């Protein structure tokens, strides 16, 4: 199958998943409005909880669709752009692409860049994560955690991490609650623990490399205030 056709098929499947959630919400609303239950307050309470659960699935499926559409757009835009005659022109093409997405989503270009990066990771290297997001069994926050914690692991390591948490038939699946049933902070702790235990590079080497990327960031705030944050080695930050 031509890859461009495959992108369209994937996006259509994501659209159908979103439509399924919308239909389920409509069914919840009909049930909540029926008179079959003796206690109308109980019917209302149950309907609200069912609606909230379906909205959570809808949000996840919408996030999967956004990721697929963003990845499709990047591929299409790059295919349509004429060959760059210089590195500067190539950079200009990428910045224009980023600006288009930022404008459509009404976000900053930095936020759009992070979203496109996560979308690329999900659609090219994390099939189990994208499938779980599209099915509504994990949230966008859970998917972002997997994207973050698989960064730097390599294809084999990334596949092993997502299989551990998302594939019940994996050789050594995660125990306890499914990933999507954990609050994101708890899931991040578990994913990071697995990453540290299985990372192919020692913590010493990774720390040395990361320390070279230390930085300070400045962010203006309201009322004449601002935030000053620093990404530092842990011992230095603890000392401060």
Q: What is the pLDDT along the chain (240 residues), one digit of tens a residue?
A: 454 555 566 777 777 777 777 777 677 666 666 655 567 788 878 888 888 898 899 999 999 999 999 999 999 998 888 888 888 888 888 899 999 999 999 999 999 999 999 999 999 999 999 999 999 999 999 999 999 999 988 899 999 999 999 998 888 888 888 999 999 999 999 999 998 888 776 676 677 777 777 888 888 888 888 889 888 888 888 888
DSSP assignment of 1-19, as one string?
Answer: --HHHHHHHHHHHHHHHHH
What CA–CA distance (Å, rounded) separates 73 from 101?
Answer: 9
pTM, to two decimals: 0.77
150 with 157: CB under 8 angstroms?
yes
- Euclidean distance between CA atoms 74 and 102, whole angstroms: 13
d(CA 144, CA 163): 16
Q: ∠218-223-228 over CA atoms, to 5°?
A: 20
Cα(148)–Cα(146) distance, integer angstroms? 5
Position of tokens 């752009």?
Answer: 81
Phi and psi based region of residue 106 (left: phi greater than 0; alpha: psi -120 to 50; beta: remaining): left
* Contact indicator for 190, 174 with CB cutoff of 8 Å: yes
The residue among 119, 67, 118, 73 whose CA lies nearest residue 96 is 73
Closest by CA to 58, choosing from 108, 147, 133, is 133
Output b/e per residue, 214-231; b: 16+ Cβ within 10 A: eeeeeeeeeeeeeeeeee
CA distance 183 to 139: 10
């Amino acid at each position: 199958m031509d890859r461009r056709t495959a992108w369209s098929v994937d996006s259509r499947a994501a659209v159908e998943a979103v439509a399924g959630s919308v239909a389920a919400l409509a069914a919840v609303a009909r049930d909540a409005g029926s008179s079959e239950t003796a206690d109308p307050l109980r019917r209302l309470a149950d309907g609200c909880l069912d609606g909230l659960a379906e909205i959570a699935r809808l949000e996840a499926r919408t996030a999967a669709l956004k990721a697929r559409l963003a990845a499709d757009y990047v591929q299409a835009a790059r295919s349509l752009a004429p060959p760059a005659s210089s590195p500067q022109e190539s950079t200009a093409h990428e910045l224009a692409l980023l600006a288009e997405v930022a404008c459509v989503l009404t976000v900053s270009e930095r936020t759009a860049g992070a979203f496109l990066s996560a979308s690329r990771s999900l659609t090219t290297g994390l099939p189990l994560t994208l499938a779980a997001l599209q099915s509504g069994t994990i949230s966008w926050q859970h998917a972002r955690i997997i994207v973050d914690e698989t960064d730097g692991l390599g294809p084999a390591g990334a596949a092993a991490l997502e299989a551990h948490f998302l594939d019940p038939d994996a050789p050594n699946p995660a125990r306890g609650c499914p990933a999507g049933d954990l609050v994101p902070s708890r899931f991040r702790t578990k994913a990071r623990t697995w990453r540290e235990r299985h990372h192919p590079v020692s913590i010493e080497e990774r720390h040395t490399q990361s320390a070279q990327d230390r930085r300070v960031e400045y962010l203006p705030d309201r009322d004449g205030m601002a935030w000053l944050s620093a990404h530092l080695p842990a011992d230095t930050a603890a000392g401060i």
